[in-house]
Amino acid sequence: MQAEYVVVGAGSAGCAIAYRLAEAGKRVLVIEHGGSDRGPFIQMPAALSYPMNMPVYDWGFKSEPEPHLGGRSLATPRGKVIGGSSSINGMVYVRGHACDYDHWAESGADGWAFADVLPYFKRMESWHDGGHGGDEAWRGHDGPLHVTRGERANPLFDAFVQAGLQAGYEVTDDYNGEKQEGFGPMEQTVWKGRRWSTANAYLRPALKRQNCELIRGLALRLMIEEGRAVGVEIERGGRVETIRAEREVIVAASSINSPKLLMLSGIGPAAHLAEHGITPVADRPGVGQNLQDHLEVYLQMASKQPITLYKYWNLFGKGLIGAQWLLTGRGLGASNQFESAAFIRSRPGVRYPDIQYHFLPIAVRYDGRAAAEGHGFQAHVGPMRSPSRGAVTLRSADPKEPPRIFFNYMSTEQDWEDFRACIRLTREIFAQEAFAPFVKSEIQPGAALQSDDELDGFIREHAESAYHPCGTCRMGRRDDPMAVVDPETRVIGVEGLRLADSSIFPRITNGNLNGPSIMVGEKAADHILGRTPMAPENVAPWIHPHWQIAQR
């Protein structure tokens, strides 16, 4: 079994890489441990809480007990299926802020400033504004990835945007365009009523070519001979096999499994590898370090009017939505229900948004459990740039054992200040006139909790991951001891090996990470093919003119 290029992981970045390499006529083998995404629970957008809780589709990772969250272990779902986490995620599409990428470039990821990555975002997108306006010039129109907007038929979606306006915030037609800051419509990777994962957008078209093949198997370790990656050892059907790469091995196995695979193969912090009896091939202390994520809390309100999705929160209602979706591909089943969003700044002196909102017209938990009996709605809110850093390390040298995932959430005073600000700013939004016809009372945290200590107690008990782990194989300059890959996504210290997925983010981007992960795959493909990167587009993002002195 051999090909020019072997890609480990058919996730968001891996599928994009496979598609671009196959399109260029290269022979590509993609290794994926997970199986098919054919089931209705994956393809129906409204059923999003199911696949991320199904062991058949999810690796089922959990964090170590988090000391600053009362010793809780948090769920860390990662897709174990073609399409990777794009097949089990919430389908929210956010590029990130232009300043995020400029920060990447400043921290050593040369050639990854916003001007450099914008052409790749445009190349990957087929953007449909649904007649609601947006920034045509900033968006792509003929890429593999369809990006759409929900119908926003429920009056609560508009109330959320109007309340933001009444509270003195900006409104934006397109947070993925020139102006991220403000309240407006949310975008989703849904097309014709189906989840538009990277399996649908990239992998299936790639597999239609003669030169691209998918192999089911668990990657055990990378084969490295005389400092060069020459293949991958996999297990399938109970047998260990070797897949050889004539040119390069490309690891795209997620911010959890990519550093694990590197360390199992002898690439990582030498002392840590030695603890597990692994002979170091390349001493890279940054492998597995720099782990980041977004945390969020749900602020829930009881509704005066019976207009929320709660009326479908029963077997009959769910059956009705499912039947309509199966027959027509339309209706409530065809949306992830995240149809209004906002990005705001927490305080004066913050240059660009550092708080994100997802608004949902039902009071429910991510695992599908209704928190409140009855009609309600909620805003998911959390800070975007936590200073806390964690690590992914080996539990043992056994490839079948999950790694140790320690986020070290809420480990700085800044985290707590930011989260209290999130809760207080959200309460102010829900207190605006636009919500007067709808807000009955605050379910969670509950109006009784007001002091810093009371809010801290609520955060400690209720903060949840937004499932955006990244940063564990940071991109940087070759002379940076903590960098794992260089700006061309080559693993430093090993020839013939690249790594391209959310692991390489120097710092977490604003919002949901699926879009940036796909972009990394798109741009990495050009580096792998030895192409001159696409020409930079120098456009300036909207920055609040009074950001230094005003919060809104």
pLDDT digits (tens, 9 = 90+) for 398-447: 999 999 999 999 999 999 999 999 999 999 999 999 999 999 999 999 99
Q: Is 122 helix (H, G, I), strand (E, B) or coil?
A: helix
The pair of three-digit structure tokens given for residue 265, joined into one six-digit string: 């193969």
Cα–Cα distance, 42 to 51 (Å, whole number): 6
Cα–Cα distance, 190 to 196 (Å, whole number): 5
Tell me: pLDDT of 66 over 80: yes
pLDDT of residue 370: 64
Could you report the per-residue pLDDT of 297-319, keeping only the tens digit for each? 999 999 999 999 999 988 899 99
Helical packing angle, 413-430 and 452-462, nearest 10°: 100
Tell me: pLDDT of 368 over 80: no
The answer to whether 354 touches 384, Cβ cutoff 8 Å, is yes
Distances (CA, A) of 334 to 42, 354, 393, 503: 12, 30, 39, 31
Neighbours of 110 (CB within 10 A): 15
Tell me: pLDDT of 39 over 90: no
Residue type, 232: V
Cα–Cα distance, 253 to 260 (Å, whole number): 9
Q: What is the mean pLDDT of residues 23-40?
A: 95
Check residue 480 and give left, alpha or beta (phi > 0: left; psi -120 to 50: alpha): beta
DSSP letters, 200-222, are IIIIHHHHTSTTEEEEE-EEEEE
Q: Which has the minimum average pLDDT: 219-223, 318-322, 506-510?
A: 318-322
The pair of three-digit structure tokens given for residue 429, joined into one six-digit string: 């939004």
Cα–Cα distance, 372 to 363 (Å, whole number): 6
Residue type, 422: C
Could you report the per-residue pLDDT of 136-183, keeping only the tens digit for each? 999 999 999 999 999 999 999 999 999 999 999 999 999 999 999 999
Q: Please say whether the dihedral angle defined by the alpha carbons of residues 509, 515, 521 and 527, taken in this order, is positive or negative.
A: negative
Q: What is the mean pLDDT of residues 251-255?
A: 98
The pair of three-digit structure tokens given for residue 465, joined into one six-digit string: 């991951």
Nearest to 297 by CA among 415, 432, 130: 415
The answer to whether 269 touches 261, Cβ cutoff 8 Å, is no
pLDDT of residue 292: 98
Using pLDDT thresholds of 50, 70 and 90, give the confidence band for residue 366: low
Cα–Cα distance, 14 to 49 (Å, whole number): 24
Q: Which residues contact 60 (CB under 8 A, 6 or more apart)?
A: 77, 402
The answer to whether 340 touches 151, Cβ cutoff 8 Å, is no
Using pLDDT thresholds of 50, 70 and 90, give the confidence band for residue 49: confident
Cα–Cα distance, 298 to 379 (Å, whole number): 6
The pair of three-digit structure tokens given for residue 81, joined into one six-digit string: 């299926």
Using pLDDT thresholds of 50, 70 and 90, give the confidence band for residue 130: confident
**pTM for this model (two decimals):** 0.98
Which of 278-315 are b and which e, b meaning 16 or more Cβ less than 10 Å from the residue's Cβ? bebbbebebbbbbbbbbbbbbbbbbbeeebbbbebbee
Using pLDDT thresholds of 50, 70 and 90, give the confidence band for residue 225: very high
How far is residue 551 CA from its own chain's centroid? 27
Say if strands 340-344 and 182-185 run parallel, antiparallel, or are unpaired: antiparallel
Q: Which residues contact 444 (CB under 8 A, 6 or more apart)?
A: 298, 299, 300, 363, 371, 372, 378, 458, 462
Cα–Cα distance, 49 to 511 (Å, whole number): 19
User: Which residues are catalytically annotated?
Assistant: 468
Indicate the average pLDDT of the chain: 96
Tell me: pLDDT of 388 over 90: yes
Nearest to 32 by CA among 59, 53, 3, 52: 59
Cα–Cα distance, 107 to 483 (Å, whole number): 10
The pair of three-digit structure tokens given for residue 468, joined into one six-digit string: 């955006």
